[in-house]
Structure 1
């Protein structure tokens, strides 16, 4: 871990020396971290969730299978600051002819609306998950304005004249083997073919050849095809995609047959609805690092921390400039977030995705505060937006 490490410069506690007030309740600071493999440079936002003038929400391009830069997402949403979010389906080199969707790995909730559920663990992109974590893990903010770490699962079903079958996915780039998944207008125009590629344990496994798709509108099946398609999904329409056993069930449907699709995202540790949530994975719980965190691979990282009983959110993005590019290990990220006051912390996508934006005093738009390691901002599927206005 970081037994002898130090944070050099201002820590992002409220009112800390060197902190810049982005807006009331929102502060930005930067500082060096003396890590095991060299100096890393951190950019941190401290967000006071107690303030009614502060809000946190999901930044995304309006569709699940789409990407945009953090600065563009923040500007479009009117956010005063933000960071990049979840890991995502960035490439498809193992599946010739199948395009990457750009969709994120974990669940996503925007303004209380469930956008998508989590792909199987074996289908995720990003570093190996720490023991005991899964793609269902989220960082979220509840309806009462409290930040939490949680796990969110899909609860859904497809009801036909032949009975019910469980729903295995919602707007996901990968469906569990043998399942049926639902795609709604939130997905976008991107091809749904990637959803039937790989297996629950092997992302690179071949695409399934046993597939079927049914379009449902007005409570009835209206069209079917043997291969998942693409194109706009109109509001009120659901496209069901099945693979293996799920495909065989969908082939039983004919145009005009009644079909009811039900889905919701269910949090495991609280009954309070989430207004915002996105995926990643926990690195710190109850002030203690998770066992089994990687302590050898250093990289540019993005992370979020929860302090003050869920009433303060810390958002960290490392600098990707050449002088700092060795970055931190995941174990060092957990230790850094703890030293900054976090009791719980969550790792988000890193590397070329790591981006932190914030408005300068008097400015009308956000600017990128760190140096993305690609040299320019990378387009990402989502992020955490920080807003300065009445939010609740």
Structure 2
């Protein structure tokens, strides 16, 4: 039996197990009309598609999941990382504080598929006059390069995380081509001739109270004011009134200001933003003073460097759901599963069309990943509940021979919402 046959067999078994969770009478392949004549009816027999090749090592499929609230539809990209022609990487608009639709991100770098990624700073209603950055919550690594670190736990956007999970949680693929879950913590220093300060942030929309954060040209042109708002435990707390910013270029201070600035950062420059005690330390620096800044993201468990990583939160480890998963709030969600000892990555996005918009709870998404064979699972940003129309959950794939990807699910609200990052699927001939 070939590896592909084994994989398809596991998927058929998973779909069978999923459909038996509800009370639906049977299943019908896409295109086959159920008994009532309404093909794909949310209230009729569940449907599923046959695996559709997208590229070597990459397949697309969908299937329905009956629940007590209605039927949800899941769209899946199945990526075989054993195939040397298939790979995954970070999709992002070129800057941390920027957003674009998943389809545009995928087409811009020649990806054959992809899904949306991390939760992000989407609104600032609690801080009038402060610009929402659009930057993601967790760490991000692209092409083995650290783009950003995680905001404090109390500053995140998104549903509640399982107990013990932090914003440093990531899903990624290492240089060994294996997918894995881990935590990525920032280690860094700001060194001057007379002191050494720990670095509290890297290109992130919220800094820990009393810290100094570094912003590079990877950040973009969005104002850095948001980084000094809220606290480690409250996203809506007032912005700090004690701030300072210095610009370092060529190892020396070239500019300073008592307020965080805006606009693009020149390549090779680093802007240091301090709040409270961090601001007081930065005020000691004068133009011409020598300053060096170092930073790296350190994995808590992995010994293999990440080639790509992005934030979210784990829901499944070693085949066991994490405790405390939400079993009541239903939404159109996006998630990823890891199986075959990191050699297979399952990218899942629910359908947001009206007949499927009831979606799934976090616990139900986790069960779905398990039924698909995942041993580890990771929740990504998703659309709103059935009463809050959103359009984050997006899965795109390119048909063989096509020049561009198409959106395979139906985003809530009828159109894609721009996002800061995602997981791209690539194929090399």
- 1:358 corresponds in structure 2 to 397
- After superposition, the C-alpha distances for 1:89-113 in whole angstroms (9 at most, x for unaligned) are 0000000000100000000000001
Partner in structure 2 of residue 13 of structure 1 = none
Q: CA deviation at 1:235?
A: 1.1
> Does 2:421 match 1:382?
yes
Q: Provide Cα deviations, 1:20-51, integer angstroms capped at 9, x if missing partner.
A: 00011000001100123210001000000011
1:309 is aligned to 2:341: yes
| 2:282 paired residue among 247, 250, 255 | 250
Superposition deviation, residue 131 in structure 1: 0.7
Partner residue, 1:104? 136
- Distance in 1 between residues matched to 2:68 and 2:202, nearest whole Å: 41
Alpha-carbon distance in 2 for matches of 1:9, 1:317? 21
Looking at structure 2, the residues matched to 36 and 288 of structure 1 have their Cα atoms a distance apart, in angstroms, of 23
Instruction: Please state whether the residue corresponding to 2:207 is helix, strand or coil.
Output: coil
Please say if 1:39 is aligned against 2:76: no
Q: How does 1:328-343 map to 2 (within 5 A)?
A: 328-343=360-375
Q: Which runs of 4+ in 1 moved over 4 A?
A: 6-10
- Partner secondary structure for residue 374 of structure 1: helix
What TM-score does the superposition give when structure 2 sets the normalisation length? 0.88
Cα contact 2:49–2:62 (8 A) shared by 1: no
Contact 2:142-2:308 within 8 A present in 1 as well: yes
- Computed over aligned residues only, the root mean square deviation of the Cα atoms, in angstroms, reads 1.5
Q: Distance in 1 between matches of 2:232 and 2:333?
A: 27
Q: 2:316 aligns with which of 255, 263, 284?
A: 284
- Among 69, 80, 85, the alignment partner of 2:101 is 69
Q: Deviations over 1:142-165 (max 9, x none)?
A: 001000000000000100122111
Partners of 2:349 and 2:120 lie apart in 1 by 17
For these two proteins, the number of residue pairs brought into alignment is: 384
Q: Deviations over 1:198-242 (max 9, x none)?
A: 000000000000000000000011110000001111111000000
Q: Aligned runs of 1:194-273 on 2, under 5 Å?
A: 194-273=226-305
Pairwise mapping of residues 80-95 of structure 1 onto structure 2 (< 5 A)?
80-95=112-127
- Give the whole-Å Cα distance in 1 for the aligned partners of 2:311 and 2:192: 32
Q: Give the Å deviation of 1:69.
A: 0.1
Distance 2:154 2:70 in 1: 33
Tell me the secondary structure at the aligned position of residue 413 of structure 2: coil
Residue 362 (structure 1) shift = 2.1
Q: How far 1:363 sits from its partner (Å)? A: 1.1
Matched residue SS, 1:338: helix
Instruction: Within 5 Å, give how 1:8-157 maps onto structure 2.
Output: 18-157=50-189
Aligned partners of 1:9 and 1:31 also within 8 Å: no
Distance 2:105 2:364 in 1: 29
3-state secondary structure, aligned to 1:248: helix
Unaligned runs of 5+ in 2: 1-17, 30-47, 384-390
Distance 1:313 1:365 in 2: 22
User: Could you tell which deviates more after superposition, 359-368 or 201-210?
Assistant: 359-368
Alpha-carbon deviation of 1:364?
1.4
